[in-house]
Amino acid sequence: MATPMNLTSNFFFFIFTVTIIYVAYTFPKLQQNQTNLAFYVHEHFTGEDTTAATVAGKAGPTSNIFHFGTVAVVDDPVTVGPSVDSKVIGRAQGLYINSQLDGKGLHMAFSVIFTDGKFKGSTLEIQGSDISGMKEREFGIVSGTGYFRFVKGYGVMETVFKDLAKLRGTLKLNVTVKHY
């Protein structure tokens, strides 16, 4: 036989369950935004406008970035076009580690810090592999700040200019991210 206590607790459990279901289905859900970007990173290991430097390796800081175990730091300009003279919208700051025994593969981890334009003050955190022999290399977008808070995504990097003798290059990054 049902006691008044069991009926009361069952009634409250029923009301609680209905309330939770109502709240779960009536509150607006956050919609993810998708942003597609294309920008250029200009890397210069030599010259007066050097933006990258090796800091460690088998031969110390004089190691070549194409030797296994070499670590390089970068502070590269990010532009809207392939020319280094096009509008600068940010900096790519971070590091490369040559992590492939034959010297043809880099691990990269850097921040794209937007200093101008719609995304000024925001960042994207990039991490992944950069195999020098591949025409296109895919990498992950693992985090972000500002406009890109809670971001996740990927990018495709393509070398548009390369001067191996002077260790200079321009990379085009096509980035797709989802964020709130």
Q: Indicate the length of the chain as a whole number.
A: 180
For the chain, the three-class secondary structure string (H helix, E strand, C coil) is CCCHHHHHHHHHHHHHHHHHHHHHHHCCCCCCEEEEEEEEEEEECCCCCCCEEEEECCCHHHCCCCCCCCEEEEEEEEECCCCCCCCEEEEEEEEEEECCCCCCEEEEEEEEEECCCCCCCCEEEEEEEEECCCCEEEEEEEEEEHHHCCCEEEEEEEEEEEECCCCEEEEEEEEEEEEC
Q: List CB contacts of 10: < 8 A, sequence separation 6 or more.
A: none
pLDDT for residue 7 is more than 80: no
Average pLDDT over residues 129-152: 93
pLDDT at position 52 is 94
**pTM for this prediction:** 0.82
pLDDT at position 143 is 95
pLDDT at position 97 is 95
Six token digits for residue 128:
């992944």
123 - beta bridge partners?
113, 145
pLDDT at position 4 is 57
In percent, the amount of the chain with pLDDT more than 90 equals 67
Return the higher-pLDDT residue of 25 and 101. Answer: 101
Average pLDDT over residues 136-152: 95
pLDDT at position 98 is 94
Residue 66 has a CB neighbour count (10 Å cut-off) of 16
State pLDDT tens for residues 12-52: 888 888 888 887 788 777 788 999 999 999 999 999 999 99
Six token digits for residue 32:
């993810």
Tell me the C-alpha distance between 158 and 175, whole Å. Answer: 11
pLDDT at position 13 is 83
pLDDT at position 115 is 98
pLDDT for residue 9 is more than 60: yes
Query: In terms of CATH, what superfamily is 30-179?
Result: Allene oxide cyclase-like (2.40.480.10)
| C-beta of residue 115 within 8 angstroms of C-beta of residue 87 | no
pLDDT at position 6 is 66
Return the higher-pLDDT residue of 61 and 72. Answer: 72
